[in-house]
Structure 1
């Protein structure tokens, strides 16, 4: 009997890793360090929660169905702020609000691909992108990242066939943390445009980019929407993970197709979450700047303290946004090492094998550290535990 597509798709990695905790106890003097998931564990800041409480009580529309493509005021605010921050022109009808950034990716793929089509994604990849392609009957074409974990458009060109419908990039990258240079994104845009395919750029972590100013100039091209589809998440910026609010910025004609997908799946994005995202965009600029500084401080702590691991043969392959991507020195696969670290070091993280196709080398020596929820002292504690391993 033929397997369903979900049965043929690998299990959600974060949920699988959580099962490694079952039956393991952690002493009080060595509590678990959970660096497995790239999501804030704190609730939204108090002013935003207060605003949300007021919305719940006073805004009757927040409890009803809304427009499929999202709250008009939020779409307009995204368009205004994007136009300013990217020095380009984004119109409100080129913005749709989705139930999280994963849904934005799913919706985009639904408008681009038919059975057996292909999408090129760099590896190590964001596993949910691979999962959705598998469940959609779309073939993932892996593009091995190059020096500094940055993919090369020249290498990508050799992978494009008459079934290729898109190239999907994530910058700052998940899982590697690296920030793709503007010229890299420009080269991929030119490649996609030359082949009349889409360039999907997931910028979930754009608010924590270490660079000042716009990270790229793709939106400054007046014809950007003939090729570019940008994805975004409000979850990381305003700690709205449980409210599932994301966005897709694309040609208005594509959003008309995306509307079909969204209407069928969720009817409309979470109404309270949308209003919270709008309030955050309009009122929490200074607070978000402080959050960015804190993440950059933790990134600096990773780099400053990595010598503790480098002295034991570890390598730092990439670092930025919420992530450090490392190479371990042990004579075992990361798929075996990661569960062992729960018991031996009180550390939960994800193995590189979860970010790579099973038939490609490299993942067995790699690990992802999601450091957004450990402070600078926690970073040092993490490295001290890992450096003291005797395996």
Structure 2
């Protein structure tokens, strides 16, 4: 009798943790301090004003230490709804917002409301590996959706992949890992495709605060009955440096959130209260500071694009650069997972290979690398480019 695999055995090890193991195994160059561009996370704590507020809350706000509502702090849900009205237009109400323990939990909660065993979700390739892992562990199938030379998914390709088991299409914009921003018309076209086929569009906008355009990234919240088709995901981690507090959000119909509540009550009961109070304070008080953070991240992306010529001269190719990420083709004969390990010991650089963002055996993934550049200042980006340019075949 053949035993079925347990859910966790159906997927791969966490890529960022795998990359950290390379550090323990590598002989690091003594004259090259490590440049870690493997993880999309701020390395600095929240600004001092927010830390002081967190300290005050810890001392003076009893509710920060107690259970709260499963779907999140009511005032934070209301604040998200109000700020979304300004940012996107259309109609958004507090009962269409849920607060989650990070954006990954929001994705897992979403697919829990959608999928039965063997159902399918289309994921553009390269994909965000935690989305693939979540689908594996749910007993669902991640269907690779090819992207074009600009790393944008195509409507006609998606149409051809839809089957009777397809339940959703999941997009990430600005994209992780590719760094590209999906044009509003493309996002709208995917919404229309999902609506026409009775699918759900899962739109992960974790990096929306670092979009290069000040205009609304799409008009989906102005569509009639948008909550029937759209589940938008968001994270407070990147905007306010709250990664360790695990605070995310999802925006969809109140009816879907009633199903989401079942999942969240089973997994975490409620999001961490202290992080929610901090996120609320940040939304109300750190608008100007966040604008400065956005400007700095955009400047770093510009530094990658403007400084890439030395790598291009050696056969590297910049495929996308935006928000926290640059996505590149390397010029070497070996596959990217081999090159990534070499870069640790030869260049003092830790980055993730494209094989971690593509289906097993994918030829494109073997030529690609992701650079999470947001933790480097412009001088650090110059140093990174210089080190990579000096790596020999």
TM-score by length of structure 1 reads 0.99
Tell me if 1:321 matches 2:323: yes
- Runs of 4+ in structure 1 off by over 2 angstroms are 23-29
Mapped partners of 1:106, 1:293: distance in 2: 31
Deviations 1:284-311 (A, max 9, x none): 0000000000000100100011001000
Per the alignment, residue 229 of structure 1 pairs with 231
Per the alignment, residue 144 of structure 2 pairs with 142
Per the alignment, residue 75 of structure 2 pairs with 73
5 Å matches for 1:289-328?
289-328=291-330
Deviation at 1:222, TM superposition (A): 3.0
Mapped partners of 2:30, 2:282: distance in 1: 37
- Contact 2:354/2:368 (8 A) holds in 1: yes
Deviation at 1:27, TM superposition (A): 5.0
Per the alignment, residue 11 of structure 1 pairs with 13
Q: How many residues align?
A: 391
Tell me if 1:155 matches 2:170: no
Look up the SS of the partner of 1:57 in the other structure: helix
Look up the SS of the partner of 2:150 in the other structure: helix
5 Å matches for 1:191-230?
191-230=193-232
Mapped partners of 1:140, 1:200: distance in 2: 13
5 Å matches for 1:107-146?
107-146=109-148
Per the alignment, residue 278 of structure 1 pairs with 280
Mapped partners of 1:61, 1:376: distance in 2: 42
Per the alignment, residue 55 of structure 2 pairs with 53
- Contact 1:89/1:222 (8 A) holds in 2: no
Mapped partners of 1:2, 1:91: distance in 2: 43
Deviation at 1:25, TM superposition (A): 5.0
Look up the SS of the partner of 1:142 in the other structure: strand
Q: Which runs of 5+ in 2 are unaligned?
A: none
Mapped partners of 1:389, 1:268: distance in 2: 48
TM-score by length of structure 2 reads 0.98
Mapped partners of 1:4, 1:288: distance in 2: 43
Look up the SS of the partner of 1:22 in the other structure: helix
- Contact 2:87/2:216 (8 A) holds in 1: yes
Deviation at 1:84, TM superposition (A): 1.1
Per the alignment, residue 340 of structure 1 pairs with 342
Deviation at 1:29, TM superposition (A): 3.8
Task: Name which of structure 1's ranges 19-28 and 373-382 shifts more when overlaid on structure 2.
Answer: 19-28
- Contact 2:227/2:253 (8 A) holds in 1: yes
Match of 2:269 among 263, 267, 270: 267
Mapped partners of 2:19, 2:188: distance in 1: 36
Mapped partners of 2:10, 2:384: distance in 1: 35
Look up the SS of the partner of 1:361 in the other structure: coil
- Contact 2:119/2:166 (8 A) holds in 1: yes
Q: Which runs of 5+ in 1 are unaligned?
A: none
- Contact 2:179/2:324 (8 A) holds in 1: yes
Look up the SS of the partner of 1:288 in the other structure: helix
Deviation at 1:88, TM superposition (A): 1.3
Mapped partners of 1:334, 1:23: distance in 2: 18
